[in-house]
Structure 1
Amino acid sequence: MFHSPLLLVFPFFLLVCFLLYWAGARHAFLRRPAVQDGDPRAFDWHVFVPCRDEEAVIGTTVARLRADHPDAHVWVVDDDSDDATGTIVAALAESDRRVHLVRRHRPDARQGKGAALNAAYDELTEFLAEGTDRERVVVCVVDADGRLAPDALRRVSGPHGFGDPETGGVQVGVRMRNAEDPRPLPDRGRAANAFARLLVRMQDMEFSVSNAGMQLLRARTGSVGLGGNGQFTRLAALDRIAAAERRPWQRGALLEDYELGLHMVLGGDRTAHIADTWVSQEGLPHARRFLTQRTRWAQGNLQCVRYAPRIVSSRHYSGKGVLETLYTFLQPVAHIATLVLCAVMFTLLALDAVRDGFGAAFGGMLALWPLVLVLGLVSVLPFVLWGPVYRRERADDRSPLVGVLWGLALWLYAYHLFPASARGFVRMLRGRNGWAKTRRNAEAVTSGPTAIES
């Protein structure tokens, strides 16, 4: 039946890599050290909020940031919105000198999130007094619907964060604040809302424990990735990237946040992850919006593969850091290869069945059912074991059985990576790199594409 040993060796290799990475992430999460607070008064804080058509959420976001972090400046970048985003922020800026509106207009506007953040960086540079110690200035990027934990500045000021002068960037944990919403889709029926609740819950579980574990593992390998929400960077580190790359955030990058972290480590700055504080955002209850978001992430990951030679040859990446980063880069590639392998295997099975009959073609597989069962358990168990951890961290009022069921659901949820990776790869081959923003949950659903431009 098996026409090449590679059909057996390759899946085993991927499974072993996955299990090793999972074990490291789980251990790093469960054994993470306590985070010591620092003194946020030792730094000047500036929050960048890139916006395009965000009138549904921007007023609330700015008000929350100013209430929870009164000493921070908030820079809202209006990327030529068609709605009232700019008007709302302009009114807030008139009554609050720590709220700043950065207006962008076409044709310079709408060139991606990275370009919007670069505009805020330029405005901040003009705003700061001559002679400002830029090592003491910290920039935080928050999504237009983001809410930063009240203790976040204290946590990232400590010795695990900017209290270490070698730290150039810090990523905090991410949560979905609508994980407990009983009706994420108020205009839909019971079944649709049940699916939407589970989808949002899985996103919260993914970020709160699974992704946090990966980031804490990366802290041990020196390869922590920065995210687009809850990303803290020392202004002097941004300056060093701008001197080497012409701008801090790269134009046209679909993962401008992760790419920034790569540049930071390549430049010799340390990146850190602090899981014990957070930024919250809205989980996506719409399957289509969710899939288009993850397609963009997969495509952006594939774009970052071009950095592999620089990372391998960099003196700032340890051997473990190189391995971890390459593993992250190649995840979408592994998903695509797995899909191709499955297609090849099923094709060969069909050909064998036509030639030798059904019994001869599938008899060998049936004889291997104990091995298939063991491999299935080994593949599912890592996801299931995240369930009780998530329940303890985020929902300790739920029963232990619910935690196990959430773990099983996480295993099924993980299969979205396969179509997302395939779609991202096809888009990249077709040269389709333009993206519109993902609509907020408060925005009306209209026909047509949700998040993709040609």
Structure 2
Amino acid sequence: MLGLYFLQMLLSALLPTPRRQLRPDDTLHFTFLIPALNEERVIGATVLTLRELAPEARVAVIDDASDDATAAIMTRLAVQDARVSLLSRTAPQAREGKGQALNWAVQQLLTPLQAAGADLSREIFVVVDADGRITPGLLAEARAALADGHVVGAQARVRIRPSVTRLSPRTLVGRMLEQQQDLEFFIIRHVQRLRERWHSVGLFGNGQFMRASYLASQLARGVPAWPDCLSEDFASGLEMRLARPENRMAFLESAVTQQGLPDLRLFSRQRARWTQGTMQCLPYLPRLWASRVPWLARLDLTYFILSPWMNAVIVLSLLTQPLRWLMGTQGLVLDATVSAVITALNIGLQLQWVARYQRENGLSPARVLFTLASLPVYGFALFLSLPMAYRHHFTGRRTWDKSTRHAEPGESLPTTGD
């Protein structure tokens, strides 16, 4: 596992960015899908920003039976703008997870398109989080990537918008976690560029593009585009690859930004959900290896699916170390030279990523030191999330721990009044 990890990181760092030769397809139509549950703090600003940066696109907000003013804000915006719509889910179907909300919404939107005889291969759905902000060049880059008819999905780069809270002892850990989340997505950007070479680009919950013709074909076969699991985004990418071997996915350098999670408890719960969701994808392995998906993509996806299970061995070893001491045994002990080499490789990889991150963002020396000091905090938070994920998985707990978002200063927010 360590060998595969080091190989993936090395190739991701060294290989150049693939270049696209296709001209943008200006006939594509985009519809943004925004799942929303109690998002009154951010939903208005998100919709207004999308309408400003992508005036030709439609925006559909999926209200999943919110208790707050989300529906009222969206009702007002939909009255004011014909290209904005509100899709309302009600109990008992509501609040069944993000994937369920997306599958339902797509069916609502595809029906009138099919009735009008629209060319679904030119209709593109874009999943954006309730706090998502696209960058100006995103749709233009998506038009170029999706000009290839074999590309049925694409994933934008993700960036974290830092909090504007003043750095203090109270906010220190949260700001460190935010810094590491952006660094993490910076590393993922390079891994995604590598994956694009062998057609295993992973889809995220934010900045996810899907061709409507693919979605319609899945629904016609009775297969949900977003499977019922806690990592519906990753599973949706698996389904896309398995539906037809010629299906391709692209990675987009233009970014979609989102808020970070500047809270140790919430961050650990989020990562526990991500880990548990990946564990739920284990049944895909037989289908993956029985398919005609390129073998490098199969190896990469298999490594990703098995990672939480292999990490469980490490966690179990650490948690049982006191018991082994009591029994007078040491368990599996690596040779000192091997341990030193592994440690040096890991530190070297982390330092080169921080150096690349510094070059891209022009970080000051103080900010670089802050980023380096944040690495142990991030590692500790990830370790906290693993036992939680295993406990939830093996006890059958599948509750969606929703991210908490905050209003951002300087953004114009629509009111709910007349």
Retained in 2: the 8 A contact 1:311–1:322?
yes
Alignment partner, residue 391 of structure 1: 358
Alignment partner, residue 306 of structure 2: 330
Which of 136, 146, 150 is matched with 2:122 structurally?
136
Displacement after TM superposition at 1:403 (Å)? 3.6
- Matched letter for residue 303 of structure 1: Q
- Matched letter for residue 261 of structure 1: G
Retained in 1: the 8 A contact 2:63–2:86?
yes
Where do residues 274-293 of structure 1 align in structure 2 (5 Å cutoff)?
274=252, 276-293=253-270
Identity of aligned residues (%): 34
Q: Can you list the C-alpha shifts for 1:293-322, whole angstroms capped at 9, x where unaligned?
A: 11100000000111000001101x111111
Q: Distance in 2 between matches of 1:383 and 1:397?
A: 16
TM-score, structure 2 length as denominator? 0.90
Retained in 1: the 8 A contact 2:22–2:148?
no
Cα distance 1:39–1:217, how it changes in 2: closer, same or farther (>3 A)? closer
Alignment partner, residue 65 of structure 2: 80
Retained in 2: the 8 A contact 1:15–1:379?
no
Q: Distance in 1 between matches of 2:299 and 2:369?
A: 31
Retained in 1: the 8 A contact 2:176–2:377?
no
Alignment partner, residue 427 of structure 1: 392
Displacement after TM superposition at 1:405 (Å)? 5.9
- Matched letter for residue 40 of structure 2: E
Ranked by relative contact order (alpha carbons within 8 Å, sequence separation 6 or more), the top structure is 2
| SS at structure 2 position matched to 1:42 | coil
Unaligned stretches of 5+ residues in structure 2: 409-418
Which of 145, 150, 160 is matched with 1:166 structurally?
150
Q: Do structure 1's residue 239 and structure 2's residue 216 form an aligned pair?
A: yes
| SS at structure 2 position matched to 1:139 | strand
Alignment partner, residue 267 of structure 1: 243
Cα distance 1:46–1:40, how it changes in 2: closer, same or farther (>3 A)? farther
TM-score, structure 1 length as denominator? 0.84
Q: Can you list the C-alpha shifts for 1:351-390, whole angstroms capped at 9, x where unaligned?
A: 337xxxxxxx89x989x65553333212222122110111
Alignment partner, residue 7 of structure 1: none
Alignment partner, residue 180 of structure 2: 202
Name the count of aligned residue pairs: 405
Displacement after TM superposition at 1:416 (Å)? 3.3
Where do residues 9-408 of structure 1 align in structure 2 (5 Å cutoff)?
14-28=1-15, 31-34=16-19, 38-39=23-24, 41-128=26-113, 130-158=116-144, 161-178=145-162, 181-183=164-166, 190-207=168-185, 209-250=186-227, 252-268=228-244, 269-274=247-252, 276-315=253-292, 317-344=293-320, 347-352=323-328, 369-393=336-360, 395-399=361-365, 402-403=367-368, 406-407=371-372
Retained in 2: the 8 A contact 1:37–1:154?
no
| SS at structure 2 position matched to 1:200 | helix
Displacement after TM superposition at 1:144 (Å)? 0.5
Retained in 1: the 8 A contact 2:157–2:256?
yes
Q: Distance in 2 between matches of 1:334 and 1:412?
A: 22
| Larger of the two Rg values belongs to structure | 1
Cα distance 1:410–1:346, how it changes in 2: closer, same or farther (>3 A)? same
Retained in 2: the 8 A contact 1:37–1:155?
no
Q: Distance in 2 between matches of 1:76 and 1:142?
A: 10
Alignment partner, residue 356 of structure 1: none
Displacement after TM superposition at 1:431 (Å)? 0.9
Q: Can you list the C-alpha shifts for 1:92-111, whole angstroms capped at 9, x where unaligned?
A: 10111000110111011111
